[in-house]
Each structure stands twice: as C-alpha cells, then as structure tokens.
A and B are shown apart, each in its own frame.
Chain A
C-alpha cells in the first residue's frame, strides 16, 4: 500500500513544462527523501500533493484519496510543513498550540511544549518576533504534537542550527518507532538524510526522476578518479552518469563496478585512465548525480 502515489503527472508554469509523466510511490511505513537542486520543482510537487495546485495531467493520491479532494478526516492524518516554516505570525507560542489542539484527536501537547521550552521564551512570545530557527522549532513542535500518520516536510532544516537538527532527527526517530508512520521529506541538508531515510528520489530538471533504496544507492553508485592524456574528458552516456572536471581531481560517477567502467572507457574514451575508487558521503553522491550547478 502506498501512502503517496503520483501517477504520470504533468505540470506546466506557462509555457515551461516542469514535469512530464512523472510517477513515483511512497510506500507506507517508509521514510522517503525527495532530493534535487534548487528550481527542479520539489516545492511545486508538494503543493500538487496537498492539492494546492492542479496538475495539467495525471493524478496524485495521498492516503488513498485524490490529492485535490482530500477529506477533512484524511487531512487530519497528514502533518504538513510548508516551505519556510510558514505559520501564523500574529499568534504567540501558547495561542498557536491552543488553536491547533481541537482539530486533532491524538494531540500530544507534551511534545510541543518539550520542544518549545528549549527556546527559553515566555509562552506569550509572538511568533512574528522570532528568528527563522525559533519559528521552525514551533512549527515542527506542532507537527509532532499532531502525531500524524504521514508527515510531508518541505525543507524542514531551513534555519535550524546543527544542534536542533539533531534534536529534530531524534524526535523523528521516536515518532517512527511508534510504527506505521510514513515520512516524505525534502531538505537541502543532504547529509542528514543518511541516517534518516529508507529511500531517495532524485528529481532533476525536466522532471527526470530516479527512485532507489538508500542502501542500494550507496552500494551501487560509484565515484572514480580519472586522468586523461591530452584528450577530452569523458562525457555522460549510457554508463557514465556524470563527470566533474572542476576542482583538483577529475571524477566520474557511474552505477557500475570498476571492471565495467574500465572496459567502457577503453572502448569509448581510450585516452582516459581510470584511477582509484573514491569514498563518498551522501552529499558527494548527490552532487555527483545532479551536478554542482
């Protein structure tokens, strides 16, 4: 069963086609990260999932319902973090909790106050007078207190310092330990995903999409140093995923083991010598897949 099922959606902004026939699933009980560079349409995708935009074609289903026609009961099962930790700035810490509480039967007030107490602010402090990081703590506290079945978090790490990011990940782990919880997350801090997610979806400009188990991606996606003798560097093709010639050490990235890459280079790029395989963090791999800019 999928918590989210995106089926062949197409979306356009004016004449620009953001995606065409984009499809993926987020299985129930899994943590799935949507990764992509700025401007590939991650936030637009979340707007489509929550029914705030209507796709030009295809369909999105969230918890079994059409994303454009989510019933109130289903919306109560979804914790939604909008980009920029959007919230009601005119409310205070106490007022915003009092506002949200009656809407959610499983409300866990203690989780909210446990998180916001760490801010050391009086409960009468207005959210509009908080820093971006403080505001994000309040908003994430509200989502945890809601205790939803599905969390959709658009760039949760924006404005959070390293300590609070860790605290958030601990809270998220406790939330997941309850079982049956699904998280769909986007973030610019790719390294946090390493310990958090089960699957990754890489979204690229033009709507190209790659979805994999994180463990498979970490095992299969390789980075190799290379040297060239007066010839052009290799270019991406059916086997070579990307090439980075900027910086000190030229690198190429591929979903292939050393023997396969060596054979491929000999056939197609005879002037290029494959060097050692380089260790990668998830962030290195992400950049290797999507490019630096």
Chain B
C-alpha cells in the first residue's frame, strides 16, 4: 500500500520536481559562475574585505529558492486532491486517514529535502573552491534559515490547501508568511545560530498540524 501511495504522490509532483531540480542546479551553476567572475574581475583581497570585513553575503541568489520550491511542491501535491473534492477519494481508501496524510507530507518533505540537500552541498562545494573550510561551514549555517523556510513554506501551503474552511485558509497563509518573514530578518553571516534550534522546533509543529484540516474535511457539518 505504501508503494501505491508513493506512486500517486510521485505522479503528481514528478514534472514539478524535475523542473525544480533543473532550477536549483541552474541557480547553483549561476552562483558558481558569479563567484568565479568576481574573483576574475576583483582582487582576492577585495573580495575577502567584502565578505569578512563588510560582512556582505556572496550567495543570496539561492536565498528564496527553498521557500518557493516548498510552496510549489505543496501546490502540485495537494491542488489536485482539492480540485472537485478528490480528497474524498483518498479518504475512502482503506487506510487510516492520518497515516495517509503523513505519508503524503513525508514524501513531499523528503523530495523537498533532497533539493535542500543539493543546495547545501552545492553551496558548501562552491564556497570551498575559493575560501577555507571554515567559510564553507559558515555559509551552510547562514543558509540554514533559508532551508528551514522551504519546510515552513511546504507545510504552510499544505495546511492552507487542505483546509476545508475558507475562513481558516488566509489565517494559515498569514501565519506561514509571518514565519517566513521571521526567517528573513538576517542580513549577515550566521545571525540565526542561537535561535535556530527554537525555530526548528517551532517549524516541526507543522508536521502534526496537517492532520487537523484533514480531520475537519471529513467531519464538517
């Protein structure tokens, strides 16, 4: 049964995920070329001065990519379920509704997570070409809130899409945007280091929360 559930989710998101993979790879290539260009037109000392004296971020090209991807994967997964009330087809399957929804979001989060892993690994590799290992590690820690934004956008969009009550949808969308804005307050290196565990814990609460709209969908009057 798990295989069938995953098959359906894959069929829904395969084109979107494939396109997202190309966009992420494209952005990493762009980041690589932009960095190489900088080192060709500027002295290394100047770039060092920008990066570590002025604390200017050199890889903001990928900052909003995870959040955008998270929202798009959620739309590809749950848009077709909600169109014409197809969610009822899934709720009639002989599987517990909560397990079914967790399988869906588990798969979506995993596929988004693979892209986040690609972003993180690509960023680490690109930075380590021109900078020492400490700078590459710092780049990863700096990008963590952006990657967490992907999780938040995915689950926030999922909540808003699965929610049967029209009044609640903008509330979910507003809370998600507020959380994303909270993750977008930093403009330097590793500014979220001390608050990341708490923000991650808060973002993990979105995982059980997706059961609520599914429950309300079945039990509405």
Contacts and interface: CB of A to CB of B under 8 A. Distances in A.
A and B are interacting partners: yes
B4 A99 contact: yes
Contacts of A206: none
A52 B91 contact: yes
Contacts of B220: 53-54
Contacts of B219: 54, 68
B80 A103 contact: no
Contact of B89 (A56, A86, A98): A86
Nearest to B83: A89
B55 interface: no
A247 interface: no
A86 B85 contact: yes
A56 B217 CA distance: 16
Nearest to A83: B85
B167 interface: no
Contact of B3 (A51, A68, A102, A104): A102
Interface residues of B, number: 24
A88 B11 CA distance: 10
Interface string A43-60: 000010011111110000
Interface in A82-101: 82, 84, 86-91, 95, 98-101
B95 interface: yes
A73 to B, nearest CB: 7
A29 B29 CA distance: 66
Contact of A90 (B12, B92, B94): B12
A97 B92 CA distance: 16
A75 B219 CA distance: 16
A88 to B, nearest CB: 7
A114 B92 CA distance: 25
A75 B95 CA distance: 9
Contact of A102 (B4, B12, B96, B217): B4
Contacts of A51: 218
B7 interface: yes
**How many residues of A sit at the interface, in one of the four size bands?**
20 to 34
B4 A100 contact: yes
B11 A90 contact: yes
A93 to B, nearest CB: 13
B7 A99 contact: yes
A76 B3 contact: no
Nearest to B219: A54
A72 interface: yes
Contacts of B84: 84, 86
Interface string B146-183: 00000000000000000000000000000000000000
A35 B10 CA distance: 40
Interface in B172-221: 217-221
B89 A50 contact: no
A80 interface: yes
B138 to A, nearest CB: 43
Interface string B5-26: 0011001100000000000000
A86 B86 contact: yes
Contacts of B89: 82, 86-88
Contacts of A99: 4, 7-8
B41 interface: no
B54 interface: no
A151 to B, nearest CB: 13
Contacts of B96: 72
B95 A103 contact: yes
A129 to B, nearest CB: 15
B11 to A, nearest CB: 6
Given A86-B84, A86-B86, A88-B80, A75 B4 contact: no
A75 B94 contact: yes
Interface of A: 47, 50-56, 68, 72-73, 75-76, 78, 80, 82, 84, 86-91, 95, 98-104
9 contacts: A51-B218, A52-B218, A55-B221, A68-B218, A82-B89, A88-B86, A88-B89, A91-B8, A104-B94
Given A87-B89, A99-B7, A103-B1, 19 more contacts: A47-B88, A50-B92, A52-B88, A54-B219, A56-B221, A68-B218, A73-B94, A76-B94, A80-B92, A84-B84, A86-B88, A88-B80, A88-B89, A90-B11, A91-B11, A95-B7, A98-B7, A99-B8, A100-B4
